[in-house]
Structure 1
Amino acid sequence: MDALQNQAMAQAQVRRRQAERQKVRAALLRIEEGEYGFCTDCGEEIAAERRAADPAIARCLDCTRG
């Protein structure tokens, strides 16, 4: 049972790392396109504090909550 749980945890970690890499790639693309710092949903500027906490963030707080 422990082996199955360890395997599941390892797979979850791989998925989290892949998702984080994709998030960073998307942020780099937004930088290249001159759209970094703006919400991908509404187009409003993402608060500097929010970007500082997570530089790869794609959505403003309102759209994240919405």
Structure 2
Amino acid sequence: MKKIYQKIKDIITQGLEIAVPFLCLAVVVQVMIGSKLGAWDPVGNIKSLGSETIIGLAAILILYSYINKK
């Protein structure tokens, strides 16, 4: 059971290590450009999640922990 838990944790960690830098880059580019990135609106998505559910807070905590880790 411990091996399964560790494997799931490793997969989630690897996914976040790939996804978070792209999300950070998208947020920075959107702030610099001032408009959506094609059909994708990362700032708007984070903003809407934050106003509706706890998921926005979780996203902010993940970004904060990722930035502080480096």
Q: Could you tell me the TM-score, scaled by structure 2's length?
A: 0.45
Higher-Rg structure is 1
Q: Could you tell me the TM-score, scaled by structure 1's length?
A: 0.47
Q: Which has the higher contact order (CA 8 A, sep 6+)?
A: 1
Indicate the structure with greater helix content: 2
